[in-house]
């Protein structure tokens, strides 16, 4: 970063500080990951200088000879990796990708259906504070109290009663396998478009570690980071060509102007990496690590929503530990264990001070950690939460300092991908 250090040393130093922080931290946030050096290099290129409104071969600006080839490569790699008939790699992020689905298949005031935010859904699945909850009549489904899993009988009953135009499945805090065939059957019964939001599990789907929605969902949306290990972007895909034109029109000119070409190139790189045997092994290890971490936490008395995990994500209800999710996440962060506080189903606490924390294994797996490291991480989490529950600040500070030193020793053995 010699040029950046010369032009803006303050920003350069902050970036270096973030590099050090990431290297010294066990990143357990389920929606975060590390990209490769190749993805980082593609993101920081002269492609950011070029405007490219439209699609390959049909642009509104000249000088697209190279850009068209890059976007076409990204599209073809997405189609090949996920086995879809259509892919659009232009959405700026996951929320605009989901908005494109509404724009393509619904009108303001129409009924739509998705998983409620407190149960693990996403804001853009029709939650009240989102534009999707304000512009559409939103019906929300949740999970069973006794199992913490989606009640598909309830989903069907709600769909039959309300007849939504669009049904979303998937979310941001779902630790169990999504039953795409069951959702597809319900959507067909009520004549709805089924959209599978696989932002969290796209890498697992690509690596064969989670069932694919292709052939079941009409439309598939995903971010390109998280388990897919790409840049901060998104894609909208379709199982058949039937909806290709409507989706493309919804992305551009419906929601966006020119795509971010540097991001498109980085998406193409990430998709190529995700097509390798090495990535498939990574995806399966993510799940193996999550299961090992969940089992160890459960054995230490942590209450896990749904009792465990089938994927990369674990949702922990700390009510029985006598600690709120927010203070627990803050204490764990001070110990070098990065998590996020999160609502749990039927949470009695406020969203900004909920009962749970959400953790995941994509990042630690990218660093090369395995099941034995997951058991150690669970032991550290137990120590910090237990110390916090005793309401003895001095004791908690002592435990946190010791754990952070031990975490630093561990992270020193596992280089951070993408960093020198």
In order of 85, 123, 158, 315, the CA distances from 126 in angstroms are 27, 6, 15, 22
Q: Is 162 annotated as a binding residue?
A: no
Q: Is 28 annotated as a binding residue?
A: no
Q: In the 3-class helix/strand/coil scheme, how is the chain assigned residue by residue?
A: CHHHHHHCHHHHHHHHHHHHHHHCCEECCCCCCCCCHHHHHHHCCHHHHCCCCEECCEECCCCCHHHHHHHHHHHHHHHHHHCCCEEECCCCCHHHHHHHHHHHHCCCCCEEEEECHHHCCCHHHCCCCCHHHHHCEEEEECECCCCCCECHHHHHHHHHHHCCCEEEECCCCCCCCCCHHHHHHHHHHHCCEEEEECCCCHHHHHCCCCCCCECCECEEEEECCHHHCCCCCEEEEECCHHHHHHHHHHHHHHHCCCCCHHHHHHHHHHHHHHCCHHHHHHHHHHHHHHHHHHHHHHHCCCEEHHHCCCCCEEEEECHHHCCCHHHHHHHHHHCCEECEEECCCCCCCCCCCCCEEEEECHHHHHCCCCHHHHHHHHHHHHHHHHHHHCCCHHHHHHHHHHHHHHHHHHHCCCCCCCCC
Q: Is 121 annotated as a binding residue?
A: yes
Q: Which of 357, 210, 223, 213 is nearest to 286 (CA)?
A: 210
Alpha-carbon gap, residue 47 to 70, rounded angstroms: 10
Alpha-carbon gap, residue 88 to 71, rounded angstroms: 9
Q: Is 318 annotated as a binding residue?
A: no
Active-site hit among 27, 77, 140, 226: 226
Active-site hit among 232, 334, 375, 402: 232
Annotation marks residue 60 as catalytic: no
Annotation marks residue 249 as catalytic: no
Q: Is 122 annotated as a binding residue?
A: yes
Annotation marks residue 361 as catalytic: no
Annotation marks residue 309 as catalytic: no
Active-site hit among 111, 141, 197, 321: 197
Active-site hit among 25, 124, 223, 263: 223
Active-site hit among 32, 53, 68, 185: 53
Alpha-carbon gap, residue 331 to 325, rounded angstroms: 10
Annotation marks residue 226 as catalytic: yes
Token pair for 79: 């189609």
Alpha-carbon gap, residue 131 to 139, rounded angstroms: 14
Alpha-carbon gap, residue 96 to 259, rounded angstroms: 12
Annotation marks residue 197 as catalytic: yes
Cα 22 → chain centroid: 18
> Which residues belong to the active site?
51, 53, 197, 223, 226, 232
Binding-site members for (6S)-5,6,7,8-tetrahydrofolate are 117, 121-123, 242
Which residues are annotated binding-site positions? 117, 121-123, 242
């Amino acid at each position: 970063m010699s040029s950046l250090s010369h032009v803006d040393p303050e920003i350069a130093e902050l970036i270096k500080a973030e590099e050090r922080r990431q290297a010294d931290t066990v990143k357990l946030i389920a929606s975060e990951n590390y990209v490769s050096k190749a993805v980082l290099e593609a993101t920081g290129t002269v492609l950011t200088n070029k405007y490219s409104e439209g699609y390959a071969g049909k642009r509104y600006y000249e000088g697209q000879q190279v850009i068209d080839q890059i976007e076409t490569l990204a599209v073809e790699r997405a189609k090949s990796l996920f086995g879809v008939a259509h892919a659009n790699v232009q959405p700026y992020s996951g929320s605009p990708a989901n908005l494109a689905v509404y724009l393509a298949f619904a009108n303001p005031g129409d009924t739509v259906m998705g998983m409620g935010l407190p149960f693990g859904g996403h804001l853009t699945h029709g939650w009240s504070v989102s534009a999707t909850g304000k512009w559409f009549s939103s019906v929300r489904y949740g999970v069973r109290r006794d199992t913490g899993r989606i009640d598909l009988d309830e989903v069907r009953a709600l769909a039959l009663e309300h007849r939504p135009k669009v049904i979303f499945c998937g979310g941001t805090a779902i630790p169990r396998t999504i039953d795409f065939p069951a959702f597809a059957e319900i959507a067909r019964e009520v004549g709805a478009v089924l959209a599978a939001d696989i932002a969290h599990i796209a890498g697992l789907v690509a690596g064969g570690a989670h069932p694919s929605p292709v052939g079941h969902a009409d439309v598939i949306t995903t971010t390109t980071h998280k388990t897919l290990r790409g840049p901060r972007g998104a894609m909208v895909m379709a199982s058949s060509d039937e909806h290709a034109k409507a989706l493309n029109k919804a992305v551009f000119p419906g929601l966006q102007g020119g795509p971010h070409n540097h991001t498109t190139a980085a998406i193409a790189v990430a998709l190529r990496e995700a097509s390798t045997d090495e990535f498939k092994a990574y995806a399966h290890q993510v799940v193996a690590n999550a299961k090992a971490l969940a089992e160890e936490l459960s054995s230490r008395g942590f209450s896990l929503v749904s009792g465990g995990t089938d994927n990369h994500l674990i949702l922990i209800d700390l009510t029985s530990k006598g600690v709120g999710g927010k203070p627990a996440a803050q204490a764990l962060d001070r110990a070098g264990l990065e998590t996020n506080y999160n609502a749990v189903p039927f949470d009695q606490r406020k969203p900004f001070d909920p009962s749970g924390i959400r953790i995941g294994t994509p990042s630690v797996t990218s660093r090369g950690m395995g099941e034995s490291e997951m058991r150690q991480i669970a032991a550290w989490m137990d120590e910090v939460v237990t110390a916090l529950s005793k309401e003895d600040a001095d004791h908690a500070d002592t435990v946190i300092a010791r754990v952070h030193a031990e975490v630093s020793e561990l992270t020193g053995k596992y280089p951070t991908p993408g960093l020198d």
